[in-house]
Amino acid sequence: MQINSTRAHAQKSLLSCIIGIGLLIVIATFLGNDTAKIVTDFTYISVAGTLVVLSILLAARFKKTGSHGKAWLFFLGTAVSWFIAETTWSILEIVYHTNPFPSLADVFYLGGYPFLLCFVIYYIKPVKKAATKRMLIGAAIISISMMLPSIYMAYNFDPKVSLTENAIATSYPIADSIVFIPALIGVILFFRGEVNFTWSLVCIAVILQVLGDTTFQIATFTNTYYTGHPADILLLWSYLFFSFGVYDHIKIFKKVQNNKTKSTMA
């Protein structure tokens, strides 16, 4: 009962954060480009930094124990890499007033994906037998269907970007499509009761990441991207779902440890 109450409170908090960040970015955009840049960039740093702190707490509690322990260590690698990317992007844009795309930030953005892939693989490993071949094929078809339009758009139109910008922008949907397969399987397993609530939040975060990166790519190709673009809202929401997923797992871990302590004392 206590876990359900805590989870309900967390869900309400998540919804409030989703609405709050969406309104914050929209309002900042209406106040002008400079305001939108400062507000959006600092919001990115804040949510990415929060994710790092939560990931450190969870990874420290698991201490490399089992598949989940290894999984959360890999997730910490993703969180740290993306936090560095967000910070680098913001410094280039706000302090040096230069275009942060493409830049060193992309190295850390893309560098986080191998960690994320290892995370989803290790996390789903204990329930891999529940994933059927039909499920895997279906997830792969959906993932490829989402990736192909991005590649087609990149190399069959005349994008208003350089070849380097084109290649980097296209790398994101490709990386997303790879991570998307196990994430989608995780969502299916959640609705079948095979995985916990934490996994559903993480999977939704990955899906939002895919949508955000695809929107970013389209805006980049059409030269319509600006800081505070709807793509940023999707990506910020992705960080929120990741953070609440980690937070939920911390609560679960703490509850389990307390129960073990009580059993030992008894």
Report the C-alpha gap between 96 and 104 in whole angstroms.
14
What pLDDT does residue 150 have? 77
CB atoms within 10 A of CB 30: 9
Report the C-alpha gap between 177 and 190 in whole angstroms.
20
Q: pLDDT digits over 97-149, tens only?
A: 998 988 999 999 999 999 999 998 888 877 777 788 888 899 899 988 888 88
Least confident of 128-132, 228-232, 262-266: 262-266
Q: Enter the pTM of the model.
A: 0.90
Report the C-alpha gap between 21 and 42 in whole angstroms.
12
Structure tokens at 92: 């280039």
Q: pLDDT digits over 5-27, tens only?
A: 666 777 899 999 999 999 999 99
User: Is the pLDDT higher at 263 or at 196?
Assistant: 196
**What value does the mean pLDDT take over residues 226-247?**
96
What pLDDT does residue 73 have? 93
CB atoms within 10 A of CB 161: 20
7: Cβ–Cβ under 8 A, 6 or more apart, which residues? 197, 248, 251
57: Cβ–Cβ under 8 A, 6 or more apart, which residues? 250
Cβ–Cβ < 8 Å for 120, 179? yes
Report the C-alpha gap between 83 and 49 in whole angstroms.
6
